[in-house]
Amino acid sequence: MRPGDLLLVTRIPGEPLGELMTKLDGTVFSHSGIAVRTDDREDLPATHLASALAKDIPDDGEIDIGGVRWDAFPTFWRHHRDLYCIPMSDPMRGRALGYLARFREQAGEEGAFSFTKLVTVAAALRSVELRARDPELAESIFTAAARVATALAPSARRPSYYCAELVANAYGRTFTRGEMIPPQGTGHGIGDAIDESWWFAWLLRLFDDEIDGIRVDEWRAATELMGILAARDQDFLVQAVTAVTRSVGVLGDDVVGGPSVPEPLVVPPVAPDLPGRDDPIPHGLVTPRMLWAAFGQGTLRKVAPVAQRT
């Protein structure tokens, strides 16, 4: 595996957010990033995963909401997760490594992780699930989610990401709305709402913490999406917020069970009735499964833990 190759990571067993995304997106991959080394030796095998994560910079004495991190592979294996590699061409590897070169793992230079974008991409996937039974609501949710992803797109002023968004930007590939359809076509569904009374207050605190100094267009886009979900699809919103908050506290010692094994990638149905099927979507709506389908349908291979520990 070479620096610049694409890496997909299986979900933590029992982790709520990973399970939610599996139900909506159809695979066990819940995280993605780019293979790197920390010594910039591109002629040697990769040893770390560069990705957007909700974790502090180690040992800097500061508390933040995450950003681009460089984690040694065993960090993921200890949490009962497996890494899968998709080899990339030399030009694509060079592009990705060049994109990552703008970040440093120190305060103010590592970008930021976005919890808001996790809810947004889940909402966009939820719109696929709703198409069959409520196409008008599905279209409203997708349109609002796309506006949020566009308004909150990474910029020099606000370089915030969620994992697949960072990868999609690094490789520079354009994705379409049709590619959001998961293998089973409509998603597995998420069931009934969880009876939690605290979720809306938590969501407001999240916005307050994450979107300090937000522009008017960004605020309008975010509040439009959350307003639609709160009024018309509260089942989903409660489950999404609950999954995000409960996943933050999942540690390696809490994990029970072995790593998830991905099923073969199935090409989703064409869905000719999907509005704007071939229209480009913001990178903030890309998922690890979409990266797999775009770059490695026939080349995905598991990274052997023993071989990579040296």
Residue-wise pLDDT tens digits, 228-243: 777 677 677 766 666 6
Number of domains present in the structure of the chain: 1
190-199, 203-212, 217-226: segment of lowest average pLDDT: 190-199
Name the nearest CA neighbour of 233 among 148, 153, 139, 147: 139
Q: Which backbone phi and psi does 52 adopt, to 5 degrees?
A: -85, 120
Biggest CA pair distance of the chain: 54
CA distance 133 to 127: 10
84-88, 271-275, 290-294: segment of lowest average pLDDT: 271-275
Name the nearest CA neighbour of 34 among 105, 83, 107, 106: 83
- Average pLDDT over every residue of 183-207: 47
pLDDT grade, residue 270 (50/70/90)? low
Q: How does strand 83-86 pair with strand 160-161?
A: unpaired
Q: Is the pLDDT of residue 249 over 90?
A: no
Please count the other Cβ atoms lying within 10 Å of the Cβ belonging to residue 134: 15
**Per-residue exposure over 226-255, b if at least 16 CB sit within 10 Å of its own CB, e if not:** bebbeebbeebbbbbbbbbbebeebeeeeb
Proportion of the chain above pLDDT 70, given as a percent: 67
- The pTM score is 0.79
Name the nearest CA neighbour of 301 among 50, 18, 90, 83: 83
Residue 54 structural domain: 1-310
Name the token pair of 37.
């080394």
Please count the other Cβ atoms lying within 10 Å of the Cβ belonging to residue 275: 13
The answer to whether the CB of 201 falls within 8 A of the CB of 241 is no
